[in-house]
Chains A and B, each alone.
Chain A
């Protein structure tokens, strides 16, 4: 079987995130990284292979600017066999609908029995892409999977809702998104990092992918940012740097001052 893992480039946790006032798009000039939630998708693909399933190929699929090649290198170091970057100026400013359409169009041709997405993108805080992609692909969907078994051409997944846990079965090919608790990802070895450099990354344009460009990019966006404003003002909290547990008495003083102890 083949597995496709969708991975996104997001601003790194340490970079200052802001919207570019000229375009109202995310300012991507700072450092970027692989969406931390997508690491769990890659790890799960490896675990399926290691569980004895015949996994011919794990492909990491990303839509993003050229700079996304760097996070894709990490995806290769984490175990993907090859990477595919859908990149085109015409895609800049795509909304959720446009991104889902574009990703699904690329995934359609990948012949993947299982498409794995992360639980959410760290820069968007949405949790919608898997369901949108599954609808385009007309394939069964299970989101927020916390435990997964794949065998005999089907999957069995456990996932949390507001009502407890559901156990869901679906035939392959299928689309899932994984909870960040589904696994603890291993760190790539030096050998894996070096090896990743030899793995192929294919860059494809909107035309290569056969996309209808009226459905993508800022022109095709159905959801349009009109304006931005600062959030309601809030008092900044107090900050203490701890060293070896020396903050304990300051914490106690703070709690006493605020009358909670």
Chain B
């Protein structure tokens, strides 16, 4: 039976939801689904619970060099097992992408990104991804083995149903050059404050509102609509607002009844976090902005002009 290795990203004892979704998908493909977890001081009982998410077997790579979860030592640990597999599957994620890409380079293997569907047959792996701003579905095959597949965020749903899986500890050899980078600090996502995933209405802003000095304009619209304020990674990375307000692949998944996107381009990593909203209204001055492709109402205009007028019109109703 063909071996499918699924890379499992984790943090503080929690498996990444996208990794668990990938594992569930792998368990339906007709091969042997092998979960691969790397870290330091890992608990076998914890790793075994991956069986509930579809793993037939779990490989645990445990070594002090894997403590930080940085990609390069992880590629070293994964490589010998990946060579034996027909498919190495990754859920979306920053660490997962780094490992997937490093592994593809190491093996000279084909890699498919943003994958939303895949199959495994005797003839090999077939992967489907939406491309060019999701205007076309592209189906790819692989000319070598293993196939490396990095799924789109939320492409596959996790489901915990099975029972614990057998765990095998594997030996780890880390190359010297892989040890170069080190995590020296962490700023955890702050907890508390507003939980944007609970809001019925979200007014989100991106770089197009010009600067943090204009956030109050957005807040007033949110207030008039009885909603909360959310943001893109670009403005969180730039320090305009807190990470807990971020919608998207590395932020939160939201599905309010109404999502108003102000000055947001609609990059795929933002889209995946909000596309299930009931109604999407986008205000953007660029008629070619990708967000207009999936907005229910697209307003082509200057956000800083439209928002105050809209707030006023709502308040005088």
- Does B108 lie within 8 Å of A131, measured CB to CB? no
Which residues from chain A contact B132 at a C-beta distance below 8 Å? 17-19, 26, 123
Complex: chain A residue closest to B310, CB-CB: A248
- Does A141 lie within 8 Å of B136, measured CB to CB? no
Cβ of B46 under 8 Å from chain A: no
Q: How far in angstroms is the closest Cβ of chain A from B8? A: 13
Assuming the A-B contacts A140-B72, A223-B140, A240-B297, are A248 and B95 also in contact, with contact meaning beta carbons closer than 8 angstroms in the complex? no
Cβ of B67 under 8 Å from chain A: no
- Does B181 lie within 8 Å of A238, measured CB to CB? no
Partner of B298, one of A126, A240, A246: A240
Q: How many residues of A contact B (CB 8 A)?
A: 88
Q: How far in angstroms is the closest Cβ of chain B from A229? A: 5
Which residues from chain B contact A181 at a C-beta distance below 8 Å? 207, 233-238
Partner of A100, one of B95, B105, B301, B313: B105
- Give the interface segment out of A1-9, A75-83, A165-173, A203-211: A165-173
Chain B interface: which size bin? 35 or more
Assuming the A-B contacts A17-B135, A169-B184, are A241 and B233 also in contact, with contact meaning beta carbons closer than 8 angstroms in the complex? no
Interface string of A1-34 (1 = CB under 8 A from B): 0000000000001100111000010100000000
Partner of B301, one of A126, A128, A223, A243: A243
Cβ of B213 under 8 Å from chain A: no
Interface string of B101-124 (1 = CB under 8 A from A): 111111011111110000000000
- Give the interface segment out of A41-49, A56-64, A156-164, A185-193: A156-164
A225 to B108, CA, bound (A): 17
Assuming the A-B contacts A101-B108, A238-B298, are A231 and B137 also in contact, with contact meaning beta carbons closer than 8 angstroms in the complex? yes
- Does A131 lie within 8 Å of B185, measured CB to CB? no
- Does A17 lie within 8 Å of B279, measured CB to CB? no
- Does A237 lie within 8 Å of B297, measured CB to CB? yes
Cβ of A239 under 8 Å from chain B: yes
Q: How far in angstroms is the closest Cβ of chain B from A172? A: 9
Which residues from chain B contact A222 at a C-beta distance below 8 Å? 108-111, 142-144
Cβ of B194 under 8 Å from chain A: no
Cβ of A251 under 8 Å from chain B: yes
Which residues from chain A contact B111 at a C-beta distance below 8 Å? 95-97, 128, 222-223
Partner of A167, one of B72, B99, B186, B279: B186
Instruction: Name the prevailing secondary structure of the A interface residues.
Output: mixed
A246 to B279, CA, bound (A): 21
Assuming the A-B contacts A162-B16, A240-B297, are A128 and B143 also in contact, with contact meaning beta carbons closer than 8 angstroms in the complex? no
Which residues from chain A contact B243 at a C-beta distance below 8 Å? 160, 164-165
Residues 261-317 (chain B) with a chain A CB within 8 angstroms = 268, 278-281, 283, 286, 288, 292, 294-302, 305-306, 308-310, 312-314, 317
Partner of A164, one of B70, B186, B258: B186
Interface string of A198-232 (1 = CB under 8 A from B): 00000000000000000100000111111111110
Instruction: Name the prevailing secondary structure of the B interface residues.
Output: mixed
- Does A166 lie within 8 Å of B183, measured CB to CB? yes
A252 to B310, CA, bound (A): 7
Which residues from chain B contact A162 at a C-beta distance below 8 Å? 9, 11, 16, 93-94, 249-250
Which residues from chain A contact B71 at a C-beta distance below 8 Å? 131, 141
Q: How far in angstroms is the closest Cβ of chain B from A116? A: 15
Partner of A226, one of B141, B238, B281: B141
Q: How far in angstroms is the closest Cβ of chain A from B101? A: 4
- Does B113 lie within 8 Å of A96, measured CB to CB? yes
- Does B233 lie within 8 Å of A141, measured CB to CB? no
Assuming the A-B contacts A161-B250, A242-B301, A248-B310, are A17 and B133 also in contact, with contact meaning beta carbons closer than 8 angstroms in the complex? yes
- Does B305 lie within 8 Å of A135, measured CB to CB? no
Assuming the A-B contacts A128-B101, A139-B180, A160-B243, are A165 and B299 also in contact, with contact meaning beta carbons closer than 8 angstroms in the complex? no
A-B contact pairs, 17 of them (CB 8 A): A101-B105, A125-B131, A131-B101, A144-B94, A158-B187, A161-B11, A163-B12, A166-B186, A167-B185, A168-B181, A169-B184, A181-B238, A223-B141, A224-B143, A225-B140, A239-B297, A261-B317
Top-6 shortest CB links A-B: A242-B301, A222-B110, A140-B180, A223-B110, A181-B237, A245-B309
Q: Which residues of A contact B (CB under 8 A)?
A: 13-14, 17-19, 24, 26, 95-97, 100-101, 104, 123-136, 138-144, 146, 156, 158-171, 174, 179-182, 215, 221-231, 234, 237-249, 251-252, 254-255, 258, 260-261
Given contacts A17-B133, A163-B11, A167-B186, 19 further A-B contacts (CB under 8 A): A96-B104, A132-B102, A140-B177, A160-B243, A161-B93, A162-B11, A164-B189, A168-B182, A168-B184, A179-B233, A182-B237, A223-B140, A227-B139, A231-B134, A237-B280, A240-B300, A247-B299, A247-B306, A248-B310
